[in-house]
Structures are given as C-alpha cells and as structure tokens.
C-alpha cells in the first residue's frame, strides 16, 4: 500500500472517480460514462501537472471532506466551487483554477458548488484505482469501474500511488459562464410531434427538474404533443439525445444513460453545449435553439479550440 | 442494404434498415455492426445495433458526419454465412417465488400457465440485440398467444436473473434493475460477467437461445 492517502471524512452527495470514460461498449449495454464536464475535468488535471485524462474526483453539489496523510502534494479544484483548506494553524479559503500544496494532516473541505452541479478535484499524482475496460470511471447503475462501481463512501481511504515531485504553483484565469440557450439539431423522430409541439420545443422555456442525475436530465414545462406514436422500436441512444415519452416532458440523455431506448427523439444537444448543459441545476430555465449540422460542427471546433487554449495557458 | 443514413446530432450516424422487426433485417444490421467492428476505424467510439437501426458514434475531434458516412457507404460487408452464431441453453426455474407475473399473464392472455410454459420452452429464440442495461438480451419471437404488454407500473426492482416477456420478446435481467416486463421465472446462469473484459456477454446478437425448465432443487445446486 502506498503511504500517501486521503481519509474520506465525509463523502459528499454524489462523489465518484471519473476519467475520460470507456469506448466501444454500447453494443453490450455499457455507456460511455466519464467526467460530465470534460473541459473542467481536463483543466483540473493540467493544473496539477497530470496527463489530461488522468482519474479525478468528481463531485456534485456538496463535495467530500478529505484529510491527507503523506508527502507534500499539489491539488486543484475546477468548476464553480466553495472550498476550504484546513492547515495546521489556519484555514485558507480555496480558489478554483489554482493549485494548492497539501501537507501531512491538512484537510480539504469541499463545501458546495455555486449555482452549478459538478466540480473536479485533481491531485498531482496517480490515484490508485481499479480499471475496467481501460477506465476507472464509476458507473453506479451497472457497478462498473473503481470502488466496485459504487459512489465514494465515508471512512474509506483513497490511495495515491505516484506523486509528482514537481510542485510548481499553477493558475488559470477562467470564469465558468452559464448558458440559457441550449443549441440542438433536430432529432430523427422530429416529425412525430404536432406543429404546436415543435413550436413549443423551440420557443418556450423549460425547467430542469430535480429528477436529474448522471444518467439523464428531466425537464418540466409545456407538454410536447406526439401525434404519431409515443413509442418507437427500441434503438440506440447517445449522450445529448432528447427523448419525449408519452407524458410530453423531455428527457436529455447524459453520460451514464441507458444504451437503448424506445421514446421518440425530438432533438440532440450539440457537442459544443454539453459541458455547460450538465452544469444546470434543478430549477434552471432553458430554451432550445435550432442549429444545422454544419454550424454544430463549427461550434464544436471553436469550443474545442477554446478548451485547448485554456489548457495551454496553464 | 442501409435504406437511409442520417445524422443523429453532430457526432453520430443513424443507419436505418427499415421499420419492421424481423430476423432478416436484424441480420443485416448485425452484418454491418460486425464488419465495422472488424475495420477498427480510428475515431469511431461506439456502435449500437438494434432491431432495425445501427447507430455509429464518433469523436468529433477526429471525424465528422461526412467522413464516416463515406466510409460506411464504401464498406465491404461480411458475408451473412460467415457470421458466428452460438447456440446457448438457459435453465429457468419457474417456481412461484420467481414467476412474479405468471398469474397476470394467465389473466391477460386467457391461457393456463402450463400452456404458457409449454409454448415458451418449446421455442428457439433469436437474439436481436443486447443492451439497455449491461448484457440484457432481447430475444424473439414469442408465439402470438404469449404476447402481452408491459406492466402498467414498472417494478422499482426486478431481481437479477429474472426472465421476462413483453410483446414479441423475451429477456433476462442481467442484474437487479427497475423494469416492466412480465416475469415468468429466474435463471441462475450468469448472463453478464463484468470480470471478463473480453467477453462479458454470454449472449450476443445473432445467437440462438433455448430455455430449459429446471426444478427448484436443480436451481439451488446449479453450478456453471
């Protein structure tokens, strides 16, 4: 066992280990998983000098309280997060997007995310985790990944197998922006819905409901009427697909979604907007804006360039 | 063979093979699925074959709709005769503690449970697809007399190993999960094993499945 570890004094609401996720398993029913907000995930790794796709600790709303034992190590938190670092004689108010050094006995208390859902904690080293299909990402539905596919629990330990000795301070000036307009491409069953239903989808406001997790985001608002059939023969799904079941309330598939589904697809969230979509808290208002495929491709290129730019500034 | 290729969002291809659910169309889907899998195309993340559709998702950093579409249109498809199809026997115990919905089925279908089991166990099933939850096989086709709708209110927890029926299909719950299928028995056989990374699924699309009735004692003593 490694001598460097965190003791989990409080696990938090939905704390998991996440990396870039796993590929090529949809056909057997295993979703992609991986960090929900890919940009913040990668930035957290860069801030501590890790490979961009190293495993991190992902938390939602209230994060964990961790006590550290071992040699000095750096950590960084990304997202919009309130946290404290408890040192021997003082408490430091944490700041996102910059690295801090932890000494033996220090504590990180991730109090809450501010008007957002997910945050990332990366440490300058390698978390000692089990991999399944080349990923440690925890999928709590199928119990796949590190920690036997279960959320992180109180009282357990997180070991760090290799520490980077290079503890340079790193920092990035970045502020997460919120979006209200989610851009979508029409879905493959768009014509299943009444003209009024289609108009409602693109013109009215929806509210993110409390029934939202890593699998999906349920929306509430005006009902979208289906005039063809409220079921289709089950077929594959991808993240970002917006299905509308018989009750007329849209559901957006997120990273741990079921791999096949039988509800008509009214739209698909474009790749460029996914990281921001997942950060919308219950009660947030959203509107869907229609874009064409070519625009979506350009928007993603720009978004990806921006992410790479941010990473290269660190 | 693909009737139409369109885009599902900006990072997936939606290949439509038709609207019906039958072995012939599904076999075409499987042919394409296996052919693309063999090609190992850089940038393709995932393939999801279903009854009559194939979804190909890709990494938008590496590929786009046009490039993947072109690759698929020019793909050399494996001959149908060369598809590997296994014959798998699944033992099922139909004791009343496992057959959660047999009474409901008797009432809905208006035939006796003996008749239901007789028809179910005399059938050879074809695996159309696996998924929804890891490793769950969708098997067809049930006799017309055995076709019933889902439960009006799905169960919050269907026990692992449950064998269920709905419409023209049978399935097996590979682990405990919510679900609305009519449960007629339970199998001790492991259908999904996540410790076997190379082949976690016992049943794959294109396979032939035969269910065999087992007693409670056989269930208890079952050893793979």
Q: Quote the CA–CA distance of A238 and A270 in Å, as a whole number.
A: 11
Taking CA atoms, B46 is separated from A31, A77, A239, B49, in Å, by: 9, 31, 12, 10
Query: For the whole model, what pTM was predicted?
Result: 0.94
Q: What is the pLDDT of residues B54-92, one digit of tens each?
A: 999 999 999 999 999 999 999 999 888 888 889 999 999
- Nearest CA-CA partner of A118 in A180, A63, A74, A67: A63
- Closest in B45, B65, B194 to A24, CB measured: B45
Span A244-249, average pLDDT? 92
| Structure token pair of residue A245 | 């079941």
Work out the angle at residue A18's Cα, subtended by the Cα atoms of residues A36 and A69, and round it to the nearest 5 degrees.
130
Which CATH number, 3.30.43.10, 3.40.50.1110, 3.30.1360.40, 3.40.30.10, labels domain B4-82?
A: 3.30.1360.40
pLDDT at A1: 52
Instruction: Kindly state the percentage of chain B with pLDDT values over 70.
Output: 100
For chain B, where do the domains classified as CATH 2.40.100.10 start and end? 87-221
Across chain A, mean pLDDT equals: 95
Q: Is the pLDDT of residue A75 over 80?
A: yes
Mutate to test the interface with A, among B9, B61, B136 (most CBs of A within 10 A): B9
B7 contacts A185? CB cut-off 8 A: yes
Q: Where in chain B is the domain with CATH 3.30.1360.40?
A: 4-82
Query: How many angstroms separate the CA atoms of B102 and B116, rounded?
Result: 9
Instruction: Write the DSSP string, chain B.
Output: --SEEEESTTSEEEEE--S---HHHHHHHHHHHHHHHHHT-TTEEEEEE-SSEEEEEE-TTT--HHHHHHHHHTPPPPPGGG----EEEEEEE--TTT-TTHHHHHHHHTS-HHHHHHHHHTPEEEEEEE-SSTT-EEEE---GGG--PPPSS-EEEEPTTEEEEETTEEEE-SSSEEE-SEEEEE--S-SB-TT-SS--BSS-TT-EEEEEEE-HHHHHT---
Q: Which residues of B touch A132 (CB under 8 A)?
A: 194, 197
Mean pLDDT along residues A165-192: 92
CA distance B210 to B126: 9
CATH superfamily placement of domain B87-221:
Cyclophilin-like (2.40.100.10)
DSSP A178: P
* Segment A193-218 mean pLDDT: 96
Confidence of residue B99 (pLDDT cuts 50, 70, 90): very high
Instruction: For chain A, give the percent of residues with pLDDT over 70.
Output: 99
- What is the least distance, in Å, from the CA of B58 to any CA of chain A? 10
Q: Which of B21, B47, B65 sits opposite A293 (nearest CB)?
A: B65
* Under 8 Å between Cβ of A264 and A288: no
* pLDDT at position A284 over 70: yes
What pLDDT, on a 0 to 100 scale, did the predictor assign at position A239? 96
Q: What backbone phi and psi angles, to 5 degrees, belong to B44?
A: -85, 125
Residue A142's pLDDT band, with cuts at 50, 70 and 90, is confident
Q: Which phi and psi angles does B30 have, rounded to 5°?
A: -65, -40
Each residue of B126-142: pLDDT tens digit?
A: 999 999 889 999 999 99
Instruction: Name which of A135, A142, A134 is nearest A58 in CA terms.
Output: A135
CB contact under 8 A, B131 and A265: no
Does the pLDDT of residue A2 top 80, yes or no?
no
pLDDT value at B20 more than 70: yes
């Amino acid at each position: 066992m490694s001598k460097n570890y965190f003791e989990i004094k409080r696990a938090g609401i939905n704390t998991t280990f996440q990396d870039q996720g796993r590929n090529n398993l949809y056909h057997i029913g295993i979703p992609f998983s991986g960090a929900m907000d890919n940009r913040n995930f990668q930035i957290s790794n860069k801030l501590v000098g890790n490979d961009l796709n190293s495993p991190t600790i992902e938390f939602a709303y209230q994060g964990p309280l961790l006590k550290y034992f071992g040699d000095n190590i750096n950590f960084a938190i990304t997202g919009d997060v309130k946290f404290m670092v408890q040192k021997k004689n003082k408490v430091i108010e944490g700041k996102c997007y910059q690295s801090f050094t932890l000494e033996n006995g220090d504590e990180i208390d991730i109090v809450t995310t501010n008007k957002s859902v997910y945050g990332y904690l990366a440490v300058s080293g390698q978390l000692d985790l089990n991999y399944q299909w080349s990923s440690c990402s925890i999928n709590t539905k199928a119990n796949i990944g590190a920690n036997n596919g279960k959320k992180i629990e109180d009282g357990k330990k997180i070991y760090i197998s290799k520490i980077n000795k290079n503890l340079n301070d790193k920092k990035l000036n970045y502020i997460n922006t919120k979006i209200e307009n989610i851009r979508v491409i029409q879905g493959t069953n768009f014509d299943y819905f009444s003209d009024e239903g289609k108009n409602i989808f693109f013109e009215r406001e929806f509210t993110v409901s409390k029934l939202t997790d890593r699998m999906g985001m349920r929306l509430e608002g005006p009902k979208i009427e289906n005039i063809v059939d409220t079921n289709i023969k089950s077929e594959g799904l991808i993240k970002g697909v917006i299905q509308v079941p018989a009750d007329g309330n849209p559901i957006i598939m997120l990273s741990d979604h079921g791999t096949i589904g039988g509800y008509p697809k009214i739209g698909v969230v474009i790749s460029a907007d996914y990281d921001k979509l997942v950060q919308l808290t219950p009660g947030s208002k959203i509107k869907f804006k229609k874009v064409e495929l070519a625009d979506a491709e350009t928007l993603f290129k720009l978004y990806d360039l921006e992410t790479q730019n941010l990473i290269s500034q660190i | 063979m693909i009737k139409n290729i369109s885009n599902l969002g900006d990072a997936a291809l939606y290949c439509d093979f038709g609207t019906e659910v039958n072995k012939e169309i599904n076999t075409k889907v499987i042919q394409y699925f296996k052919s693309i899998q063999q090609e190992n195309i850089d940038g393709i993340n995932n393939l999801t074959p279903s009854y009559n559709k194939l979804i190909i998702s890709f990494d938008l950093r590496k590929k786009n709709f046009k490039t993947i579409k072109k690759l698929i249109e020019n793909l050399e498809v494996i001959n149908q005769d060369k598809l590997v199809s296994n014959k798998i026997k699944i033992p099922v115990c139909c004791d009343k503690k496992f057959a959660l919905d047999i009474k409901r089925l008797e009432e809905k279908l208006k035939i006796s449970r003996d008749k239901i089991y007789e028809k179910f166990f005399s059938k050879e099933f074809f695996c159309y697809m696996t998924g929804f939850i890891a490793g769950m096989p969708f098997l067809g086709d049930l006799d017309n007399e055995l076709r019933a709708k889902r439960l009006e209110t799905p169960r919050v927890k269907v026990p692992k190993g449950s064998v269920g029926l709905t419409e023209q299909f049978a399935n097996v719950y590979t682990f405990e999960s919510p679900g609305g299928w009519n449960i007629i028995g339970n199998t001790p056989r492991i259908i999904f094993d996540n410790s076997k990374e190379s082949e976690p699924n016992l049943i794959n699309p294109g396979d032939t499945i035969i269910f065999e009735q087992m007693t409670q004692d056989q269930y208890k003593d079952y050893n793979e």
